[in-house]
Structure 1
Amino acid sequence: MHVFLTTERLGLRSFTDADTDDLFALDNDPDVMRFINGGRPTSREAIREQTLPRLLRDCPCLRTRSYWAAEEKATGTFLGWFEFRPLDDHSPAVVELGYRLNKAAWGKGFATEGSRALISKGFTDLAVERVTANTMTVNAGSRRVMEKAGLSFLRKFTGDWPEAIAGSEHGEVEYELTRADWQQRR
């Protein structure tokens, strides 16, 4: 199993087929999925046929994957995942940062810790020039993680929601951090 990155408390590793049960549990917690799909359940078939293939896909411009399983280093407990995915498959210049952690990991700084580590690796080792992240305007927890990870509010926008969910009427927000801003803050 390939470990991509470690922090003081986290290990970010490649996904495997063995993660199906953990992903199924994560994506079937209505609180975890509240701002993603309104908390609707996800079938095991959807995890196997849609979610896992996306998480297993290599990203040629980074020469690695774009999604990482997050485990607590001390216990090996699956906490969720992080995304660090180029918006253009052929260029690492702009990446999207994302995270989905189980409720037991909320409020403990894991999302901020993992995000900061990915940002640092992106700017120092992966030729990333800009990190972007978005969430629903009403998702205060995720917005706070973005801010604590060093990203700044860029804009509010209205996304194309195939099915409206509670809060989507308030739109979405985008945050960003450029390499130059990151270097200046260090």
Structure 2
Amino acid sequence: MMILTTPRLTLTPFQPADWAFFLALRQDPVNMQFMAPISTVEQIRQTFEARRANPEAFILRAAGEATPLGEAGLLISQPHPEVAEVGYSVVQTAQGKGYASEALRALCEHGLHTLGLEAIHAWALADNAGSVRVLEKLGFERIQVLEKAYLLNGVYHDDCQFRLVASHFTRKA
């Protein structure tokens, strides 16, 4: 079982006991405002089980604490195993404290240096300034903007694709 650690976080694989947290996270309208419409409990359960089956999906916790702060993970491309997509979400009370950046840095280091990925992709709505800032701070480059391409809760949003290549990522000193 892979566990990633940072100075302030422990990233552990999804466990059955994480279900209640994941359900609450995915039913929180503030958390989901830039991600997707709130799904049914069954759809959320399917997503949870997919995370449990993915060895590169993690629950974020403050070091030494039991209460989850969020989730993050890599989804390695089946046809191109040298490439992955990254996703992350942090509870509202933990946002703006650098946890997403810290977790994403750990995931990128793991993916690029341990797993040998060549590139990691991410998507963020242009309106999601916090997520865009996290990605850019870590060296992700915006490679395209799909204007009014993502329909979320009846509103079309610009969807931005970002890419981080191994040669542009450095380990934090």
Residue 147, structure 1, aligned to residue 136, structure 2: yes
Tell me the SS of whatever aligns to 1:37: coil
Residue 93, structure 1, aligned to residue 82, structure 2: yes
| Pairwise CA distance, 1:165 | 2.0
| Pairwise CA distance, 1:160 | 5.9
Amino acid at match of 2:34: F
State whether residues 17 and 52 of structure 1, in contact with CA within 8 Å, keep that contact through their aligned partners in structure 2. no
Residue-by-residue CA offset, 1:26-84 (whole Å, 9 max, x unaligned): 1111110001224x3x4433333x122110124xxxxxx13111111132220110021
| Unmatched tracts of structure 1, length 5 or more | 59-64
| Pairwise CA distance, 1:14 | 0.9
State whether residues 149 and 158 of structure 2, in contact with CA within 8 Å, keep that contact through their aligned partners in structure 1. no
| Pairwise CA distance, 1:182 | 1.8
Question: Which deviates further from its counterpart, 164-173 or 150-159?
Answer: 164-173
Identity of aligned residues (%): 31
Aligned partner of 1:54 in structure 2 is 50
Tell me the SS of whatever aligns to 2:4: strand
| Pairwise CA distance, 1:91 | 4.2
Residue 165, structure 1, aligned to residue 165, structure 2: no
Distance 1:75 1:184 in 2: 26
Q: How does 1:1-186 map to 2 (within 5 A)?
A: 2-38=1-37, 40=38, 42-48=39-45, 50-58=46-54, 65-86=55-76, 88-89=77-78, 91-158=80-147, 161=150, 164-165=151-152, 169-183=156-170
Q: Structure 1 residues 154 and 36 mapped into 2: Cα distance closer, same or farther (>3 Å)?
A: same
Q: Structure 1 residues 5 and 123 mapped into 2: Cα distance closer, same or farther (>3 Å)?
A: same
Amino acid at match of 2:52: L
Distance 2:96 2:149 in 1: 30
| Unmatched tracts of structure 2, length 5 or more | none
Tell me the SS of whatever aligns to 1:116: helix
For normalisation by structure 1, the TM-score amounts to 0.83
State whether residues 149 and 157 of structure 2, in contact with CA within 8 Å, keep that contact through their aligned partners in structure 1. no
Tell me the SS of whatever aligns to 1:70: strand
Residue-by-residue CA offset, 1:105-135 (whole Å, 9 max, x unaligned): 1000000001111111212110100011111
- RMSD between aligned residues: 2.3
